[in-house]
Amino acid sequence: MEKLTRDDLLPLERYAEARPRLRAEVMAHKRRRRVPVGPHVTLHFEDRLTMRYQVQEMLRAERIFEPAEIEAELAVYNPLIPDGHNWKATLMIEFDDPAVRRRELARLVGIEDRVWVRVAGFPPVYAVADEDLQRDTGEKTSAVHFLRFELTPEMVRAVRAGADVALGIDHPAYRHAVESLPEPVRASLAEDLDPPA
């Protein structure tokens, strides 16, 4: 999957005009890439479209139009675009009550390293987490983590051929799994994968 360049982005005024239509398109796309795992964790699988939208929204919110500043935003978000042999996701831990959230984030230290995907017929693949920076302190984890799941060429072939995909978390304080991703989600994730050479 190609990384974004400045040529992929709309100038601020054109984005403002197109934003309602693009937002509706991206929100529908994101629904096919969102996977709740148990009651308090959701994975949002990223791709070129979700990252393009994120960059456009950042440029809009911060009124960024200088080329160097745009390039800096692209450098932040391009690493979250899959490379054709992996999936990349944002993990969100969600507790509405701030006191409960603090307590649970302390119990869930290390959860980001216990998230897995499993292509039918293969062993689970555990996420590589937070390559950009450390997001837990030892006393508590962050409510947001960035994950990468590296797949073998055989796994890529199987997913592209329609194999089921499971997803789960096996942290001692949070054990939940989705034994078979819904077909719209599985199909969307299959599109992230390039045919193996």
Q: Is 25 found in the same domain as 54? A: yes
**Token pair 């969600």: residue:** 94
Q: Is 42 found in the same domain as 61? A: no
Q: Find the mean pLDDT for residues 152-175.
A: 98
Q: What is the pLDDT of residue 136?
A: 61
How many whole angstroms separate alpha carbon 100 and alpha carbon 106? 10
**Token pair 């302190």: residue:** 137
**pTM given for the model:** 0.91
Q: Find the mean pLDDT for residues 32-50.
A: 97
How many whole angstroms separate alpha carbon 191 and alpha carbon 1? 9
Q: What is the pLDDT of residue 139?
A: 82
Q: What is the pLDDT of residue 137?
A: 63
Give the up-direction half-sphere exposure of residue 116: CA atoms within 13 A in the CB hemisphere: 19
| pLDDT one-digit tens code per residue, 85-101 | 999 999 999 999 999 99
Q: Is 162 found in the same domain as 89? A: yes
Q: Find the mean pLDDT for residues 157-175.
A: 98
Q: Is 130 found in the same domain as 73? A: no
| pLDDT one-digit tens code per residue, 95-131 | 999 999 999 999 999 999 999 999 999 999 999 998 7
Domain that holds residue 99: 34-46+83-197
| pLDDT one-digit tens code per residue, 141-150 | 999 999 999 9
Q: Is 107 found in the same domain as 61? A: no
CA distances from 6 to 33, 36, 57, 138, 178 (A): 25, 33, 14, 38, 37
Q: Find the mean pLDDT for residues 81-85.
A: 95
Q: Is 148 found in the same domain as 66? A: no
How many whole angstroms separate alpha carbon 144 and alpha carbon 112? 9
Supply the mean pLDDT for the chain: 94
Q: Is 91 found in the same domain as 68? A: no
CATH (domain of 141): 2.60.40
Write the burial class of residue 193 (CB in 10 Å: 0-12 exposed, 13-18 middle, 19+ buried): buried
Q: Find the mean pLDDT for residues 127-138.
A: 74
CB 159 within 8 A of CB 86: no
Write the burial class of residue 184 (CB in 10 Å: 0-12 exposed, 13-18 middle, 19+ buried): exposed
How many whole angstroms separate alpha carbon 165 and alpha carbon 145? 21
Q: Is 89 found in the same domain as 25? A: no
Contacts of 30-35 with C-beta under 8 Å, sequence gap 24+, read 32/184, 32/185, 32/187, 32/188, 33/185, 33/188, 33/189, 34/185, 35/167, 35/178, 35/181, 35/185
Q: Is 146 found in the same domain as 64? A: no
Q: Is 186 found in the same domain as 125? A: yes
